[in-house]
Amino acid sequence: MFSKIYSNGCSFMWGHHHNNPWYFKYFDETKDIDISQFENECKKRSWQNENTQYTNQNVFKPFNEFDWVREKFNYAARVAENYKVEIINESIFGGSLNRLFRKTLNYIINSDKEELKNTLLLLEIPPIGRDEMYFLSQERYCNFVSGDDNFDFITEENFKYTREFYKMCFDIQTSAKDDLAKLFTLIDLFKFYNVKYVFIQTNNRLHSIQKNNNKYIEYKKCEDIQYFIDNNSVKFLLDTSLNTYHPIENYYSYDLVWWIREQKYSFKDATNEFSLDGHNSIFGSKKIAEQIINHIDNFIV
């Protein structure tokens, strides 16, 4: 058994839009939360002249007075609540595998090694193509993706540098191999310290590598690493009522993002498209937690 959970990942685990009061009315857990102050603030704003969280239900504000809702009802918190254990959740929206690797490694280094044996690591592998950099001018690590969304409040000069990085340095196949190498390193470290762990995949890195690509790491070695990751990942089971369900060929997926879409567990689905967001909804996080708990009960506890 375990007495603590350490979790890390990106927006799916963090609870994207779980603190958005526009959506509270759609979920049993949040429909009775008092949002009257928020509603009064909305009435003061001009829908014609501004595009903020007070005038547009789809504007994402990462931190607000309802963060406690996100912290309570994201799927990692629900797993911890099921087992009545403490949780340290270091996931963040837009997080990369490099960030997960760095912070998980730091957590292991800084932890009492006996306590580690009683800790479950719940690790959501973020989508490929993300990264982080430490900028001296901001005195912190900054997260970014390949697109033009500067979601982590990076200064204009530094954000321009990240665009140059992608232009000059990013290759998806090399990045996929680098990610597999980091996961291989973490797995070996978990074995060394006898740490319990579970992966949640949002992206299969092997799918980004061509079979004839043996540069740096042989493709067969990449296959072996991905196979081991799969064997230690949550299988997300499809409902038998779905048209895409097949009892042999298509009854589960390791891909959380695909599963959310197939099961219609997004905010967009839950709100009849009042929200345009494709992340797991508050109800979706509940269903994700159920799948993870089932995996832990069968393979970890």
- For residues 53 and 18, give the distance between their C-alpha atoms in angstroms, rounded to a whole number: 13
pLDDT digit string, tens, across residues 15-27: 999 999 999 999 9
Structure confidence at residue 22 (pLDDT): 98
Question: Which segments of the chain belong to CATH 3.40.50.1110?
Answer: 4-19+65-129+173-299
pLDDT digit string, tens, across residues 218-252: 999 999 999 999 999 999 999 999 988 888 888 99
**Fold of the domain built from segment(s) 4-19+65-129+173-299:** Rossmann fold (3.40.50)
- pTM for this prediction: 0.96
pLDDT digit string, tens, across residues 130-159: 999 999 999 999 999 988 999 999 999 999
Structure confidence at residue 102 (pLDDT): 98
What b/e string do you get for 199-236 counting C-beta neighbours within 10 Å, with b at 16 or more? bbbbbbbbebbeeebeeebebeebeebbeebeebbbeb
Ranges of residues in the chain whose predicted pLDDT is under 70: none
Structure confidence at residue 243 (pLDDT): 87
Structure confidence at residue 89 (pLDDT): 98
Structure confidence at residue 301 (pLDDT): 78
Structure confidence at residue 183 (pLDDT): 98
